[in-house]
Amino acid sequence: MSKKSPELRSKDWFGGDPKTSFIHRSWMKIEGIPDHEFNGKPVVGICNTWSELTPCNAHFRELAEMVKRGVYEAGGFPVEFPVMSLGEPIMRPTTMLFRNLVSMDVEESIRANPMDGVVLLVGCDKTTPSTMMGAISCDLPTIVVSGGPMLNGKFRGQDIGSGTDVWRFSEDLRAGKMTSEEFSAAEACMSRSAGHCMTMGTASTMACMVEALGMTLSGGAAIPAADSRRKALAQIAGNRIVEMIREDLRPSQILTKQAFENAIMINAAVGGSTNLVVHLLALAGRAGIDITLDDFDRIGSKLPLLVNLMPSGKYLMEDFYYAGGLPVVIQELKHLLHMDVITVNGRTHADNTAGTPCYNRDVIAPFDAPIQKEVGIAVVRGNLAVDGAIIKPSAATPALLQHRGRAVVFEDIEDLHARIDDPDLDVDESCVLVLKGAGPKGYPGMAEVGNMPMPQKLVEAGVRDMVRISDGRMSGTAYGTVVLHTSPESAIGGTLALVQNGDMIELDVAGRRLHLEVSDEELARRRAAWTPPAPHDTRGYVKMYVDHVQQAHLGVDLDFLQGKSGAIVTREAH
Ligand code: FES
């Protein structure tokens, strides 16, 4: 016998107390909605991160229409609502400052309104974790639809990848290997269709993470935004959310510890962004799942790289889709993954991916003949990172993964910009560049400035990588021997704050060690003389953020947003 569908939450608004239901229905009828739409149909909120200031999500109005089509088709009633959108390439000082704000926007928009389930339309980097964090804290049936990657960039007959080639071209421009005309011609060649960055940057990583967690339909992560199958996927998601409401299938049933472990392992195999760490930790914090920074190293650092995408490899998301996409990766890892976890379609990873063929082994390598043997994210610790720091070895120069060098210190991002290209800067390629003030409280917002530029004179001499250490993040499209997320950050007096020019630093990735060669006595003396930086803002959201944001090793969520409040609101406005 089939399970009885749960009582609809929306009935409380539209079919409850006569006076308040009159008010709710009457004002909704302003939109031309007939009576039968309120007659016990599941109400599906479509949380739209569309904005013309978020170019990667600028096609989402059309995508929302496809979701609506699917919701109507399955007998539901769709209601689209906007939330603050985070445009990665545009916003200042960094979208990460606003991830938690958007999560609150989403959470309270869902809780306050008559929704029985939610579809999250996401694409550009932070639009995915922010909306998911809010939805998890409500725990209504939820399905994620990502907007898909751009088509491959094409420049002078060659594929170019968003982000990754920006860093390369800008170094070439600085080294005099590219003219400014060629540099600007590459802009349009890189972004030639709708969609998010098509490298395995943070947006693609987030799309894969969502599929790995089981929160989107299987095979959806890699479909290009411009491919008609992306629209079909959105319509099917509209169908499916109505069924999920009837089945009462909620994120709390999908987002188990096993699901999070799957996401960590799959991220290693796809060569995903280091940004996954702070986002997955924040999601786990909302879901009440015990995942720590060490889990990334424990289960994700010894895995092989299977997906040959920039920045770790040479292909792009369009190629990944044509090769078979994430279901192929899941099949390759099936002896390691928890294949029996449930996903939004009610089936397991094992069911969803069984027999998926791979169409291009140069793009997705088999497990026993990987592109690199051991990748993932390594967690390094020592007196310079007591609570940990991370590095992505697959994006680093192998010879620099064990390195000892003299610190060249920049006190903040302005100091870096002012001095990095100074011909008199006392630096050589064996030095370690150190940037302070880039962490959650210090920037504020933990900006993607950790892959700081090479000094101009070294670029001209042909140097393309150096060890760099900061408490900031790095774009998922970037590469280099870059130690990130150093915790505790410098702005709250982490050891990073005490590093001085000329100190020796040892990085030993194999030994998981990051050590400042300064005695404990000297560090104590420096600490006693240290004064915290002046606050950036004394009012508004930024003040609340700085007062409450947690450190990188905890996921950078606000302390009071951990966990969930559910979706029940008993009091009425009238
Ligand atoms: Fe939006 Fe890269 S800038 S996904």
Mutate to test the pocket of ligand 1, among 124, 151, 316 (most ligand atoms within 8 A of CB): 124
Alpha helices in 395-460 (DSSP H): 413-419, 456-460
Tell me, what DSSP letter sits at residue 515?
A: E
Q: Find the domain containing 456 and state its range.
A: 378-533
**pLDDT score for 3:** 64
Amino acid at 491: A
pLDDT at 480: 92
Q: For ligand 1, say whether the CB of 190 is within 6 Å of any of its atoms.
A: no
- 574 residues of the chain, pLDDT tens digit each: 456 788 999 999 999 899 999 999 999 999 999 999 988 999 999 999 999 999 999 999 999 999 999 999 999 999 999 999 999 999 999 999 999 999 999 999 999 999 999 999 999 999 999 999 999 999 999 999 999 999 999 999 999 999 888 888 888 888 888 999 999 999 999 999 999 999 999 999 999 999 999 999 999 999 999 999 999 999 999 999 999 999 999 999 999 999 999 999 999 999 999 999 999 999 999 999 999 999 999 999 889 999 999 988 899 999 999 999 999 999 999 999 999 999 999 999 999 999 999 999 999 999 999 999 988 899 999 999 999 999 998 889 999 999 999 999 999 999 999 999 999 999 999 999 999 999 999 999 999 999 999 999 999 899 989 999 999 999 887 889 999 999 999 999 999 999 999 999 999 999 999 999 999 999 999 999 999 998 888 899 999 999 999 999 999 999 999 999 999 998 988 8
For the CA of 203, the closest atom of ligand 1 is 4
For ligand 1, whether the C-beta of 448 sits within 6 Å is no
What is the residue whose two structure tokens read 């079919």?
A: 15
Provide the pLDDT for residue 1: 43
- Does 126 sit in the ligand 1 pocket, CB within 6 Å? no
Ligand 1 pocket: which of 88, 126, 160, 193 to mutate (most atoms <8 Å of CB)? Answer: 88
Please tell me the distance from the alpha carbon of residue 190 to that of residue 161, in angstroms, as a whole number: 7
Work out which ligand 1 atom sits closest to the CA atom of 201: 2
Give the per-residue pLDDT at 476.
83
3-state secondary structure 349-369: HHHHHCCCCCCCCCCECCCCC
Q: Is 27 exposed, middle or buried (0-12, 13-18, 19+ CB in 10 A)?
A: exposed
Task: Flag whether 17 is in a domain.
Answer: yes
Q: Is the CB of 125 under 6 A from ligand 1?
A: yes
Is 331 inside a domain boundary?
Answer: no
Does 504 map to a domain? yes
pLDDT for 39: 86
The SS3 assignment for 406 reads strand
Does the bond joining 444 to the residue before it have cis omega, within 30 degrees of 0? yes
What atom of ligand 1 comes closest to residue 56's alpha carbon? 1
pLDDT of residue 351: 98
Q: Is residue 29 part of a domain?
A: yes
Alpha carbon nearest to ligand 1 atom 2, residue: 197
Q: Find the 508 Cα to ligand 1 centroid distance in Å.
A: 32
User: Does any domain span residue 396?
Assistant: yes
pLDDT for res 165: 87
Residue 326 lies in a domain: no
CATH of the domain at 477: 3.50.30.80
pLDDT attached to residue 535: 83
In a domain, 475, yes or no: yes
88 C-beta closer than 6 A to ligand 1: yes
Give 238: exposed, middle or buried? Use CB within 10 Å, 0-12, 13-18, 19+. Answer: buried
**CA 187 – ligand 1 centroid, Å:** 14
Any domain includes 231: no
Give me the number of domains the chain comprises: 2
Give residue 86's pLDDT. 98
Answer yes or no: is the C-beta of 319 below 6 A from any ligand 1 atom: no
